[in-house]
Structure formats: structure tokens, C-alpha cells
Structure 1
């Protein structure tokens, strides 16, 4: 017996009533389970609570409305169930990292933070996060990358906000010499202070240390190294569980030993976040 059908019935109910009040009794009723068992099943299958899912769906709808319509902010706030424009603005900025006004002015979708409605295909990826193709073994030449960095507490949402800020900053650096075709790196490592570290950056044209970088940017060199490379789906919220599965299952099965203090995500210029069929590559250095 699979519970997917019951959860997807709830998702359909949420989508139909996204602009109305959503209460637990009605959601559980749509699932066919008691409130107690429904809440546990929903989180077990989706990885988040119903409240988290609904909040992100409404904020996604708000972001899309900002760019697709000329509706006033207060109208969007009330449409999506916020009691005031101030409450809506606070929630929007906490999630997207910018105010609704700034988001509309930027005119660009933050797809990596969008919460798409759950589908059978997405639910399957959530349940079974795994590479979409057999791993490859490569030797990669040394290169320099440069971009914006996070240190300390790092999670999916903060990384997505970092990437969005980085892309905005990159547009302001027309004189920056970058490699062609463009290649983007998400380097995760341990900083010298023993804090988690993540760099959202782009590969530079020169193999030498950059003489000058934009204010606030960080450069990091990747030495020549052997890697095992895994191809993963572009569903941002599934990246941590997919990487965990690689370290738990794939690496031991390949009988390889990871080395150094980092791995990195490699994104091509045409990468699209949260679209099934679009992929990126995870490079793990090995002996």
C-alpha cells in the first residue's frame, strides 16, 4: 500500500484553497487519515510540515504575482492571507532576502527558492534521492573561482539567497575575466576557523591568483585533482538528502576514499533550478 495518493490529494486541496484559510481538520479530512497520523505521514513523505509547505507555496505565489501583475502589494498580501502589508513584507524578506518592492524592481524570478506544487515525480525524487546517471571518474585541472561566501550556519535557503545575491553582483562586474563557457561552482568546505563554509562563484579565465576582486568577494583555488562525479536532479530542497545518500551508499559501493576538505557543485550556464530534467554535477575529490 502506498500513501502517495493520499498526500497528493491533500496537495490538490491546498492548491485549490491556497488563497483561503487552510485548517488541519480539512487537510486531514482530504487525506483520509486522522490528524495525528496525517501530520506524521505528510512530514515523513515530504520532509516538511504542512505549515512549512503552505507558507512556502504562498510566498512563491506572491513572488510570481509580483512579476506577472501590477497588483499593489497590499492586494497581494490580502489575497494570500496576510493580515497586513507589513506582515507580508516581513515574511517575504525573511524568505527571499529582499523586500517585495525590491523583488519587483529586480524583475527576476528566484527560482531556486520557489516552492513548486508537489507532484508524483517530485515526490518520487524526495523519497529516493539518488544520482540520475552512473558516476564518472575525472581528473580536473587547477582553476581559480571567485564569488560570495557564507560562513557559520548554512542551510538550503541561505545558500539559495547567496546565489541570488551573487548573480546580481556578477551583472555589475562586466570587466571580470571569466572562463568560457561559463561555469559556476558551489564549493562547500570547512573554513580555517573550523566553521562551515560555502562559496557561490564562477570560474575565472586565468589560472593565476586574481590581482583584484570586487569588494566583498572571495577567491578560492581548486588544485589539480582526481574526482568522482555524480549527476543530480535540480530540485534544490533535495540536494542535502541526495548528497547524504552519496556518502552513505554510493562512495562505499565504489570503494573510493574522499580526500581534502571540500566538495563542489558544478553548474552550467543553462542550469535551471527546480525543474525536473535539469541537472548539476557534484565533484568529490578522491585518492
Structure 2
């Protein structure tokens, strides 16, 4: 749970001069490296590698200003192979070179240590179910958009608004299994799920039909297990986007018999005014726990 995630983050402080030990951190958190990176990004809003880099340069900055060791000694201590590489990274974060910072005592940026705490608002409990599903196809129009963690995703919205009623009628005809109708599908490519990274996005039917209609794409999905998170009456899109955070912060840590596996993520939504109800389907695999 979150205690184990915070315990894993302690390794960042202990191993500041070593390569990012994401695999060891994931073992401490009792999850896979892929899911650990994904969970960290969802909770913190930044990739794990970015957090480690900023923590190292925060502590290195204090030593640069302190003036006790040479800049090369500090660079090596924090994992940089040369003073030049250290200087480039230092300037990228602090906006000034290490030498200038030492000479002028300039103000530097700081990355605080992270610790995660669970705050529960309201008394809504999210229900879920586990589905073992055979192979199927996702068929529908698709595009590539940037990943947006919170708020409107304008390229995604523009794409959806550009689809005519005839597209949804064709998807309804193709749909022959759950989740039914036109389903929003995202396929991420960046394991850290960085804001702005590329995401393949489809509005698709879940179907067993062969062939790909003109103007549509097809994605074959192998048989597997899915956790289906059910939500009701959430504000769209902000509150619905938080369902992914709930999965990373609460559901997976509370259900160690399952871990996330890479694959398409399916969102089936019905709207009533500004509120949305529906299901988020996430691909999972059973662990040995």
C-alpha cells in the first residue's frame, strides 16, 4: 500500500549517486517495475526519472553553494560521469552553471522529498469486478494525441466532435460484446506516462467481426484478464481522469493478487448533463501472491 510506496522512495535518498533502481523500488512496493513507474507518475505528476534527477540536483546544489568539495567531486558523487554533463544538467534545472552558482551564491531551485498520503473525500466506494475475456478486436476511427492527466484534452475532444452520428451507428452495429457501443480506447507508449507523451486514441467497437470498414482502424487484443472499475455521477473530464489515479493509488496496492499489464485501456461512459457514469477497463495479470 502507500506505506510500501513511501518505503520504496527512501531508496532515492540512499542511492542518489547510483542509477535509478526502479526494479528494486518496485520489489519494495510489491509490484512490477512497469506498474511502479506508472503509479508514481499518476500520483506525483512527473516521471520517476525526473523526480530522481531533480532530487539529485537539489542536494548537489546545496553542496555547490557550500564550497567544500570540487565541482568534479560533487558531479561524481551524484552520478555524473564528467563535470560537463553535471554542468548541463545543473543549468537545465537551476538556470545557472555550477561555477556561477558557487561564485555568486545564487538562489537555486529545490525539489522537495515526496511522501504520499491518502486523503479520502466523501464516502463513495468504487465498485469493481474481474473479467476473464477471450480475444477480441477493437474497430473504429483512431488518431494520435498527447497525454493529458487533468483537464480537457483539446486534440482528443476535437477528434471526437469531428465524428458524425453515422460513425456511432456503425460502431453500434459492430459491437457484439461488452463493453458495448462506442468505447474510448487509449494505448500509451511511454512507460512513465509523461504529460504530453503520445497516446493512440480510438473510438471503437469491441467486436468479434472480421474485416475493417473504410475509414476505421483495427486493433487485435489477445485473451486476458481485466479489472473493471465502475463509477457513477462523476464530473467530466476531471473526476473521471482521477479514476486512473484511484486505480494506481488504491486498487492495485489493496489487491496484490493482480498487477497492471500493458495493453489498451477501455472507457465506456454515459452522460447526464455534466456528470458521467460508466466503466474503466484496465488490463491486469494475476500474480503469485
Q: Place the TM-score, normalised by the shorter chain, in its bin.
A: 0.3 to 0.5
More strand by share: 2
More helix by share: 1
User: TM-score of the superposition, structure 2-length normalised?
Assistant: 0.44
Larger Rg: 2
User: TM-score of the superposition, structure 1-length normalised?
Assistant: 0.44
